[in-house]
Amino acid sequence: MRFATLAAVAASLFSAASAVQYNVTVGPNNTNTYDPSSITGVVAGDVISFRFVSKSHSVTQSTFDQPCVARAGGVDSGFFPVDAAATSFPEWTIQIENASAPLWFFCARAPHCTAAGMVFAINPTAERTFQAFQATATGGAAGNTGTTTTGTNTTTTGTDGGAADPATTDSGALSLSAHKLTTMLVGIALVAGFSL
Ligand SMILES: *[C@@H]1O[C@H](CO)[C@@H](O)[C@H](O)[C@H]1NC(C)=O
Ligand SMILES: *[C@@H]1O[C@H](CO)[C@@H](O)[C@H](O)[C@H]1NC(C)=O
Ligand SMILES: *[C@@H]1O[C@H](CO)[C@@H](O)[C@H](O)[C@H]1NC(C)=O
Ligand SMILES: *[C@@H]1O[C@H](CO)[C@@H](O)[C@H](O)[C@H]1NC(C)=O
Ligand SMILES: [Cu+2]
């Protein structure tokens, strides 16, 4: 009954009353960008849905020091090719299990990260800013300018959505299908805390 298990995980992700769902567009207007490229105020239990709308991009976890290198044990959406004439778009969602440290991501389609600075950050800090992260990605070359969404601080208790099947926390990606009106939810991954 793997499907039932996955469905239960999905239900727990989206039914937590106080969890916030953030929405990020990947590749808007055929650009090599995430919109927004940075989100702050994310707390444990929140979910972030990435909608892939052009080309073939990914959302791949990295580190502040090596923006364009996949982090061992990190989450990775893999590539989502999108036809230029597409009218429905794949979505990939992560749930944040531990928001105590910033989380860093990039597009693994070379050279989007190094050339265009196609990077994404969750809860960057004053010491570790999105701008510094992106500048490292491009080796100092001009990248895109960031857009930030500030989340509400919902000091939630017990919304770790955490009914998380332990098997899902290590490698990251679960695949799951669920129809929505115009989009297809194709995967859910859980982001655990990393000490960086
Ligand atoms: C993200 O999209 C969902 C579904 O369309 C919506 O309910 C939610 O309010 C959006 N989140 C934000 C932060 O706008
Ligand atoms: C995409 O392009 C349209 C038309 O130029 C513009 O209005 C819109 O803001 C752009 N969206 C993004 C996310 O850049
Ligand atoms: C959220 O609110 C709590 C309680 O007021 C506070 O301790 C915490 O620092 C706040 N977090 C952010 C990101 O503002
Ligand atoms: C969250 O992650 C931090 C490191 O980023 C770690 O020190 C802490 O123990 C983690 N908390 C939980 C509840 O796992
Ligand atoms: Cu890309």
Q: Residue 33 Cα, ligand 2 centroid: separation in angstroms?
A: 12
pLDDT score recorded for residue 195: 46
Query: What's the CATH code of the domain at 38?
Result: 2.60.40.420
Distance CA 56, CA 125 (A): 29
Task: Give the 3-state secondary structure of residue 95.
Answer: strand
pLDDT values of the chain reduced to their tens digit, one per residue, 196 residues: 445 455 555 555 555 568 999 999 999 999 999 999 999 999 999 999 999 999 999 999 999 999 999 999 999 999 999 999 999 999 999 999 999 999 999 999 999 999 999 999 999 999 999 999 999 999 965 444 556 665 543 332 222 222 233 333 332 222 222 223 233 444 556 665 554 4
Residue in the structure block whose two tokens are 């893999």: 78
In a domain, 98, yes or no: yes
Distance CA 19, CA 161 (A): 9
Residue nearest (by alpha carbon) to ligand 3 atom 6: 155
- HSE at residue 103, side-chain half, CA atoms within 13 A, is 26
Domains: count for the chain: 1
Please work out whether the CB of residue 169 comes within 6 Å of at least one atom of ligand 4.
no
**Through-space distance between the first and last CA atoms of the chain, rounded to whole angstroms:** 36
Ligand lying closest to the C-alpha of residue 124:
3
Report the 10 Å Cβ neighbour count for 171: 12
| Ligand 3 pocket residue status of 171, Cβ below 6 Å | no
Domain containing 163 equals 2-191
Q: Domain for residue 39, yes or no?
A: yes
Residue 196 lies in a domain: no
Q: Which residue minimizes the CA distance to atom 8 of ligand 2? A: 29
Q: How far is the CA of 98 from the centre of ligand 4 (A)?
A: 6
